Structure 1
Amino acid sequence: MALPLLPVSTLTMNARVTSFALADEEWSRQSQSAARSIAGTCDRRDLDIQIEQAYRQIFFHAFKVDRDPMLESQLRSGQITMRDFVRGLLLSQKFRDDFYRCNSNYRMVEQTIGRVLGRPVYGDQERIAYSILIAQRGLPSLVDALLDSEEYMQTFGNDTVPFQRSRVLPGQPVGTMPFNQQAPRYGAYWRDSIAKRAPAQSLTWQNSTMGQLPDWLANAPAPWARKLWLNTVAAGGFVITGLMLWIALSMLSTGGPG
């Protein structure tokens, strides 16, 4: 039997306080989406800007290979809303390969809440609650829980691109660090595990803290055997090349005048 989502008590943070700051880079994104909600439509240029913002919010970039033409077409034709577009990006193969499979459940909760709700997690209580949800029902259940939550609907609704809330704080010379700098794509433990499994030219086994070779070199031949094999292949290549040239010259010399 699946456990229900554990209750989470909210914390006092900037995302829960109404901002009295003047228009800035965050306000421009919110005003464009709000104008689209009121008018019911927007021109192609404004929609292109919102799509780019959605890619940057979820993927932190908008490379051509990572774009989803089907989702963009549905959004442009009005078949889906911006909230559905964000849902599609979060459930895409790109997000699974580059984020979901590179992080633990705890870190995945931090990554997804920062992208979808635009705020940090409410401490360990919220981190544990959503990590249990991921363990029981997978990533789609977390995405649905966040996009269908009352907080998301009141803050962004169906047509607003999610953004980091209250990053630029009035009265402070330096605002909150952008989320993509606070939470990189994967943590140090994933980087270290990849370094042990995959080849790396800069890997020095003498300085390895584990004191053992990585898995991909566990059954590798000795250095002298590899050197002997390379020399044998090189010598064989010269012999074959010489033999082919000798055959070609012999065929040309047999065609003398009759």
Structure 2
Amino acid sequence: MSIPILRYSLTTQNQRVNGFETNPGEEQPNIYTTDNLPTAFEMDEIIWACYRQIFSEHQILSSTREPFLESQLRFNQIKIKDFITALLLSDSFRYLNYNVNNNYRIVEMCVQRILGRDVYNEREKLAFAVVVGDKGFESFIDLLINSDEYAENFGETIVPYQRRRIIAQRSKGEIPFNLKTPRLTAAYAIKQNSAQLLSSIAVRKFRPQEQSPKAGDPALFLTMVNEVAPLII
């Protein structure tokens, strides 16, 4: 028997507050939609916005493109909602995001990119993580895509976007959801045999005190040489 989704409170967040800005600036999201019969150029922008929302910008490569789905979207055979769903369930998204993150991180990432907001709290993160673990990734995506929240904010013809980024958190290093890099572990980098990934991951090793070098140990001399070597001309 499937585990029912846990209950959690809807914590107040910025996207749940009506806007009051008189002069919208660059922080206001661009709305990409197929409601107004877009031109070929505008459709290119819509497709790019879909990729940029679901994948991090550095992940938008030729291998992540879906030409057949793009063609269907251009000729109105599928809706933006269908295109977004297909990108989330694609092999590329699984390989670049789902396979390299735990359930909690993938919940955060998908809520941000599908619903355009952060998770409300740890309780919501746990509730969705249980869904991923019990029913699988596809059921979790279906739950978000077919939710009332998604329908009310994006419907079938609007590209999801980060809702209301007007927040006083720039000092905290806040960045758009679609620019956040997925978590890559050292084990994943070793598996992929990627020196570039390995060099970008800080691997910290604990050394017991009794194994620390003592006075007179040659290891101390070697460390000293490495420290002064760059100063020798």
Provide TM-score, normalisation by structure 2: 0.75
CA separation of 1:20/1:193 partners in 2, compared to 1, >3 Å: closer, same or farther?
A: same
CA distance in structure 2 between the partners assigned to 1:113 and 1:80 by the alignment: 23
The C-alpha deviation readout for 1:84-124, integer Å capped at 9, x for no partner, is 10000000000000100000001110010111011110111
The change in CA–CA distance for 1:43 and 1:136 in structure 2 (over 3 A counts) is same
Aligned to 1:91: 89
Counterpart residue number, 1:105: 103
* Structure 1 gap ranges (5+): 212-258
2:117 equivalent in structure 1: 119
1:193 equivalent among 184, 187, 191:
187
Q: Quick check: 2:100–2:188 contact (8 Å CA) kept in 1?
A: no
Offset of residue 24 of structure 1: 4.1
Quote the Cα distance in structure 2 between the aligned partners of 1:73 and 1:20.
39
What runs of 5+ residues in structure 2 fail to find an aligned partner?
Answer: 208-233
Contact 2:28 2:165 in 1 (8 A): no
Tell me if the contact between 1:29 and 1:161 (Cα under 8 Å) persists in the aligned partners: no
Structure 1's consecutive aligned runs of 4 or more residues displaced over 6 angstroms after TM superposition are none
Of structures 1 and 2, the one scoring higher in RCO (CA 8 A, sep 6+) is: 2
| Residue 159 (structure 2) aligns with | 161
Q: Decide whether aligned partners of structure 1 residues 199 and 158 sit closer, same or farther in structure 2, where only a CA change above 3 A counts.
A: closer
3-state DSSP of counterpart to 1:65? helix
Query: Which structure carries more helix by proportion?
Result: 1
Q: Secondary structure at the match of 2:155?
A: coil
Q: Which amino acid aligns with 1:98?
A: L
Distance 2:206 2:80 in 1: 48
Q: CA RMSD in A?
A: 2.6
Q: What is the deviation of 1:148?
A: 0.6
Counterpart of 2:42 in structure 1 is 46
Partners of 1:101 and 1:139 lie apart in 2 by: 11
- 1:29 alignment partner, SS class: coil
In structure 2, which of residues 24, 45, 53 is the aligned counterpart of residue 57 of structure 1?
53
Q: CA, structure 1 residues 117+26, in 2 after alignment: closer, same or farther (shift >3 Å)?
A: farther
Give the match for residue 226 of structure 1: none
Maintained 8 Å contact 2:54/2:178: no
Number of aligned residues: 197
In structure 1, distance between residues paired with 2:27 and 2:154? 12
